[in-house]
Amino acid sequence: MNMKSQNSAFKTYFPKVLGYGTVLATLVLLFFFLIYPVGIIVSKAFLGPNGFTLEYFSLLFQNELQTTAIWNSIQLGIATTILATIVALPLSIMTTKFDFPLKGILSALLLIPMIMPPFVGAIGIQRLFARMGSVNQFLLEHNLIVTPIDWLGHSNQFWAVVILEVMHLYPIMYLNLTAALSNVDPSLEEMAGILGAGRFKQFKDIVWPLARPGFFAGAIITFIWALTDLGTPLLIGFHDTMPVRIFNMVTDINQNPVGFALVFIVILMTISFFLISKSALGGKKYEMMAKGHVTESAKKTGFWGKTVIYTSILVVVILSLIPHLGVIITSLSDDWFMTVLPQKWTTEHYAAVLQNSLSSAGIKNSLLLASASTLFDLGLGILIAYAIQRKLVPLANWLDALVMIPLALPGIVLAFGYVVTYDGTFLDPLNNPVYLLIIAYAIRRLPYMVRSATAGLQQMSISLEEASTTFGASKFYTLRKITIPLVAANLIAGSLLCFSYAMLDVSDSLILAMKDRFYPLTKAIYVLFLEQGNGEFLASALGVIAMGILSACILGASLILGKKMGELFRS
């Protein structure tokens, strides 16, 4: 076979090799590190010493502490989703339907809460709202109360967790609703207005049905996140939740198999709520001939309109920044006891963080783990997106759906599954959790990279690739020299999101990292917070450093993707 025929054969078979190779690699990855671990948990929940059994579920539901934890977690998810919708929906309508000065800046401010997980914010809340914290000291000094209010007492811990979750998660709901509302063709509302429909009827019968998929995407992510969040209840002290119960059972797996039943309940809940919500919210499908350009048709606002919009946005931003402010003040405080603000300020805690072996190792470990997982997501994500968008394989939409599964599967389930499945193997997290942490981070953030790369490929004309191959370039050369450079901005944005969320992952880090030399950033923050003495201050300083890293990443992704950033959180 001559060189020319070899090149021709390579050009013919390269797309198939690329497509099927990508599918095979994805299936292998998801089987061993998603399907298999989950399957092991499910099997152990139903298999006892004598075969099939429901005994573990019977023991689970006979235990009042466990049933209380299940009910509390469901309530947390529902309350967080409802309140996040109440906050995000008006804000998304304001920013998409109306034009006002400083709109871009104010819209960006609404994303600030994403720079810090509620896990870290709980440290600031503890300091501000403790029984002898800043808020009570202020109220006592001004004679507004006689005795300190127990803001974080057992009866109030549920709502403390809910509020922290809402302040962190409403941007995800906001991004999805904003992206959905931005795609509604404004001419539909104009025609409805001409035919006599009022504003409320236009929204109810036209805008909402078209934007409902965006709401569903944000709602299901918000609900599952709040339902399965481990860090926030752990630091607030609200231990009667499913994730905290599972976390406490990790070291007692063999002695207490009820943990398998509880993890199965979490899986069952997330899948059930996903299907129920999809059926209820996505039963009817409405489509438009064209997508809207809301920015071009946004209505001008008068004095009172601007006042309402500015007040609403600023109130939400200020309230959502309270945990951040608490963490920053704590990190800079030296002598702070029974006063509204610290009596002395210092930056020594930041220097101590770099000198402390636990915190410095946490930073280095997270940088290494997050970088490795991001590179993995980048390589596999672009190949998956290319195979899906260019239809290199049959049933490409099924591949897309398969890759999105990690969005609906809680991190605590995967982490628990890894501990059970790979116990005693070379991947045993008790010995060295590095490989499992990289894989866990990568799998859970892979959907963000695939969505980001897909968005870039959708915007790129396929005729550019066709022109390249017409002039004799191979598919590989075209992919490397034409396709990837043209979608580079989307890949950078997806990489920033993958990196930032891997840096501040909570569930995988707390469960899989069992030895201090392997602690990632969030595990180091948690352990430092529990230490007596300066632990709280070091944890706060480490939290501020994490906020800075995450801020740069999310700001970069937001600037690149804009309103399309909300599409990354679709499940």
Helix (H, G, I), strand (E, B) or coil at 241: coil
Neighbours of 497 (CB within 10 A): 27
Mean pLDDT on 141-152: 88
Q: Please check whether residue 542 lies inside any domain of the structure.
A: no
In terms of domains, do 187 and 223 share one?
yes
Which pLDDT score is estimated for 293? 46
In terms of domains, do 262 and 378 share one?
no
In this prediction the pTM is 0.81
17: tokens are 């090799």
Helices 396-403, 357-389: inter-axial angle, 10-degree rounding: 160
In terms of domains, do 39 and 69 share one?
no
In terms of domains, do 29 and 145 share one?
no
Q: 287 or 540, which is more confident? A: 540
Which of 21-30, 72-81, 529-538 comes out lowest in average pLDDT? 529-538
- Cα separation, 112 vs 542, in Å, equals 18
- Cα separation, 490 vs 181, in Å, equals 22
396: tokens are 């490409």
Burial 396-431 (b: 16+ CB within 10 A, else e): beebbebbebbbbbbbbbbbbbbbbbbeeeebbbee
42-51 per-position pLDDT tens digit: 898 898 888 8
Q: Please check whether residue 293 lies inside any domain of the structure.
A: yes
User: Which pLDDT band, with edges at 50, 70 and 90, does 289 fall under?
Assistant: very low
Which pLDDT score is estimated for 8? 55
69: tokens are 């934890």
In terms of domains, do 160 and 225 share one?
yes
Q: Please check whether residue 60 lies inside any domain of the structure.
A: no
- Cα separation, 342 vs 107, in Å, equals 33
- Cα separation, 271 vs 269, in Å, equals 5
161-211 per-position pLDDT tens digit: 999 999 888 988 888 888 777 767 676 766 767 766 767 777 777 777 777
Which of 4-8, 126-130, 191-195, 541-545 comes out lowest in average pLDDT? 4-8
In terms of domains, do 321 and 452 share one?
no
348-391 per-position pLDDT tens digit: 999 988 888 898 899 999 999 999 999 999 999 988 888 887 77
User: Which is it for strands 344-345 and 333-335: parallel, antiparallel or unpaired?
Assistant: antiparallel
* Domain region containing 497: 1-47+364-520
Q: 344 or 283, which is more confident? A: 344
501: tokens are 């969320």
228 contacts 410 by C-beta, under 8 angstroms: yes
∠ CA 520-111-566 to the nearest 5 degrees? 90
User: Which pLDDT band, with edges at 50, 70 and 90, does 297 fall under?
Assistant: low
Instruction: Choose the final residue of a domain: 310, 326, 341.
Output: 341
99: tokens are 């034009």
- Using the predicted structure, report yes or no on whether residue 433 has a pLDDT greater than 90: yes
Which pLDDT score is estimated for 284? 52
- Cα separation, 210 vs 212, in Å, equals 6
Q: Please check whether residue 273 lies inside any domain of the structure.
A: yes
291 contacts 183 by C-beta, under 8 angstroms: yes
Nearest to 406 by CA among 508, 500, 503, 487: 508
In terms of domains, do 70 and 3 share one?
no
* Neighbouring residues of 476: CB distance < 8 A, sequence distance ≥ 6: 14
Q: Please check whether residue 437 lies inside any domain of the structure.
A: yes
99-134 per-position pLDDT tens digit: 888 887 787 778 777 766 667 788 888 888 888 888
Q: Please check whether residue 105 lies inside any domain of the structure.
A: yes
Q: Please check whether residue 248 lies inside any domain of the structure.
A: yes
In terms of domains, do 190 and 297 share one?
yes
Nearest to 95 by CA among 86, 81, 105: 105
Which residue carries 């034009």 as its tokens?
99
In terms of domains, do 216 and 159 share one?
yes
C-alpha torsion 305→310→313→318, nearest 10: -150
- Cα separation, 300 vs 302, in Å, equals 7
267 contacts 417 by C-beta, under 8 angstroms: no
- Please state, rounded to an integer, the average pLDDT across all residues of the chain: 82
In terms of domains, do 132 and 183 share one?
yes
- Cα separation, 505 vs 522, in Å, equals 7
Instruction: Choose the final residue of a domain: 475, 494, 520.
Output: 520
Nearest to 369 by CA among 505, 234, 264, 461: 505
In terms of domains, do 76 and 142 share one?
yes
Maximal CA-CA distance, the chain: 94
- Cα separation, 328 vs 537, in Å, equals 10
- Using the predicted structure, report yes or no on whether residue 480 has a pLDDT greater than 60: yes
- Using the predicted structure, report yes or no on whether residue 292 has a pLDDT greater than 70: no
Q: Please check whether residue 390 lies inside any domain of the structure.
A: yes
Which pLDDT score is estimated for 13? 63
Nearest to 170 by CA among 180, 159, 178: 178
In terms of domains, do 378 and 474 share one?
yes
Domain count, the chain: 2
Which of 5-19, 111-125, 466-480, 492-506 comes out lowest in average pLDDT? 5-19
Output the CA–CA distances (angstroms, integers) from residue 54 to 42, 51, 99, 487, 562, in the order listed.
Answer: 12, 10, 59, 51, 50
* Neighbouring residues of 20: CB distance < 8 A, sequence distance ≥ 6: 392, 393
* Neighbouring residues of 399: CB distance < 8 A, sequence distance ≥ 6: 23, 26, 384, 387, 388, 393
Neighbours of 342 (CB within 10 A): 16
Which of 260-274, 303-317, 555-569 comes out lowest in average pLDDT? 555-569
CATH number of the domain to which 90 belongs = 1.10.3720.10
Which pLDDT score is estimated for 179? 77
Helices 521-530, 535-561: inter-axial angle, 10-degree rounding: 150
